[in-house]
Chain A
């Protein structure tokens, strides 16, 4: 394919077929995500963006094909072996997936307590640093139910990156965030990528931020993927791809004019 990023693939899917019941999601999906780059996965609702991240994390197993993460095919590994691979991955779920019985501090500290031998004071320092990085320096004592939707996702992001994983999977990190927090998270992603060389795989509907930060855009439609640099994908000859960008950019412009897009508050 033209425009493929010339660097070693960190995550590679080959011939992936995946269905939920009779509904096919992927029909021979081939796509690779380069090491140390930001890849943004776009596509309409139900195109399989979240499922793609879950397949990479080994949370769903395709019926056919391979999903290689850092050289290991996660579709063939038993659950215990998957834990070893997942230690190299951080994942931000769409709704945070924070443990609601614990405080934000305990949630962010959990991976450190489970997988490192750091002292409690070192863990506290690390947690505070990560919470400050996502703009939640005073949220440690709060419970997840006390956070707004945007705060919840930022706290979950702090948990996903606290162990400095090689790969971070982010499912819709910008949805429901106000423009300032979109920029903040976008900068955090860029810093993580540029300073630590973390490979970021981000699903999004937020076209402006995708175009700003992505090294590669993967567009999912009809169970297959089109991948390439942002400029190439934006002006892709396939009208479905170009039409998606045009429609989403129009919607973003309308939202900005209406003053929408404020950080939502959970009921």
Chain B
């Protein structure tokens, strides 16, 4: 009997939680289409999310590309197919690795910081201070952050791809002796604009929206304690990472990208 009651309680809690998330997303959407636009705050957040993530994304991209180049070369050379190295590196990056790894990196760096910042604003009554000034915290604090995450993710994804292709080139061409022209033309021929480029764009936009919503929601609904800040930060990284992998599968299964 207790198990049934427990199951019922959990189900009701889950539905209520999903309802609160939906209402929160609705609030962000409503404030996005209505003035004030808060463009300066959006640009500042874009700097925090995008520019401050550049180093980690570019470095990781180059490293992942280098590893792919090395592994790909070892495998392909067994079959005498080193000339396809560009295609292997390019396709695996554009279709899968770049959007997923970029999203995971940005969740760890910018998403967690976003959640922690909002949660500490809850703890120090800054959001209540805004409410008492008749300023909607969702409009003033949450919207610019969520939109910045949405816009920065595809841009960072693009940079990740560029640096990863460059990393693959360095290892494959400069270190292991694959012909440079072959590498570049292999990348060019294997990557299709509609399936691959638009696909990676779609994934990164969805991941950006996902991470933006999870980070701001976790921060906004955190307990006003230091443990609440910590829980919001950890929760953002865990929920964000799992959601990215889950949605990656769903998007790939539905659209084949």
Contacts and interface: CB of A to CB of B under 8 A. Distances in A.
B136 A83 contact: yes
Contacts of B131: 57-59, 82-83, 86
Give the bracket for the number of chain B residues in contact with chain A: 10 to 19
Give the bracket for the number of chain A residues in contact with chain B: 20 to 34
B129 interface: yes
Contacts of A156: 129
B24 to A, nearest CB: 13
B176 interface: no
Contact of B133 (A59, A95, A100, A110): A110
A162 to B, nearest CB: 10
B128 A100 contact: no
B124 A83 contact: no
Interface in A10-65: 54, 57-59
A93 B129 contact: yes
B132 A91 contact: yes
A24 to B, nearest CB: 20
A95 B121 CA distance: 12
B135 A91 contact: no
B125 A93 contact: yes
Contacts of A99: 121, 126, 129-130
A102 B135 CA distance: 15
A229 interface: no
B142 to A, nearest CB: 14
A97 B125 contact: yes
B133 A111 contact: yes
A97 B134 contact: no
A84 B130 CA distance: 13
Contacts of A89: 132
Nearest to B133: A111
B129 A98 contact: yes
B126 to A, nearest CB: 5
Contact of B124 (A91, A95, A110): A95
A100 to B, nearest CB: 7
Interface of A: 54, 57-59, 82-84, 86-87, 89-91, 93, 95, 97-100, 110-111, 114-115, 156, 159, 169
Given A86-B134, A97-B125, A169-B132, 5 more contacts: A54-B128, A57-B131, A57-B132, A86-B133, A111-B135
25 contacts: A57-B131, A57-B132, A58-B131, A59-B131, A82-B131, A83-B136, A84-B134, A89-B132, A95-B124, A97-B125, A97-B126, A97-B128, A98-B126, A98-B129, A99-B126, A99-B129, A100-B124, A100-B126, A110-B133, A110-B135, A111-B135, A114-B135, A156-B129, A159-B133, A169-B132
